[in-house]
Structure 1
Amino acid sequence: MVIEGWERWIEADLIGAYDVKQLRAKYANLLDTYLAHEQISKQPVCLIMLEIGRGIVPIEAKQRALRDLNGWLSQDAAERCNEVFYAWNGLVRPIKTMIEP
């Protein structure tokens, strides 16, 4: 299973009133659901997460929240994953790799 489009889901959640802490918890729970699915099905789950902004902090609060939530989601996902890779312009760099027992 390959899951992508996180930034669009976060952006949709930021329409209207929102609570950043609640949204972070929502996405952390979603990550746990995917992890449980992976463990039950014995099929890998691949999360594709975009880096947004490259360190530029926007003036608009919702755009800052989008970048913050996307970054925290990436960190939360990396914490749960066995393997993490950074891909940019066709180059792939391992960030975290599974250690064989």
Structure 2
Amino acid sequence: MLSGLITLALTFTGFTLIALSMDKHHAQIIGSEINPKLRPAFMFFGWVLLIVSAVPCVQQYKISIGLSAWFGCMSVSGSLLVLMLAYTPKKVFAGAAGAVPFAALIFLIQVFL
């Protein structure tokens, strides 16, 4: 169960980074134009987080069910991001910034339990 929370946090942050690499969403979230030099970095680290987010699910549930759980977590976090972009775009950055320490805390709890 805890691996699902880690995966949700990482996928939400990954999708947020990918959204920050786009002009419209960057202006919605941050309120300014994107620096063209930062665009590839946002895209790269967003994809890295999405790929890394599969690891907790695959470790807990093995490859077949783990990948299905990972896609489910991606659907939930993607839907949450879409709703936040529509209704509260300024809170997306705070949610993504808080999701990474939350994932680290849950990982530490899972390791020591």
Q: TM-score, normalised by structure 2?
A: 0.32
Indicate the structure with greater helix content.
2
Indicate the structure with greater strand content.
1
Say which structure, 1 or 2, has more relative contact order (CA 8 Å, 6+ apart).
2
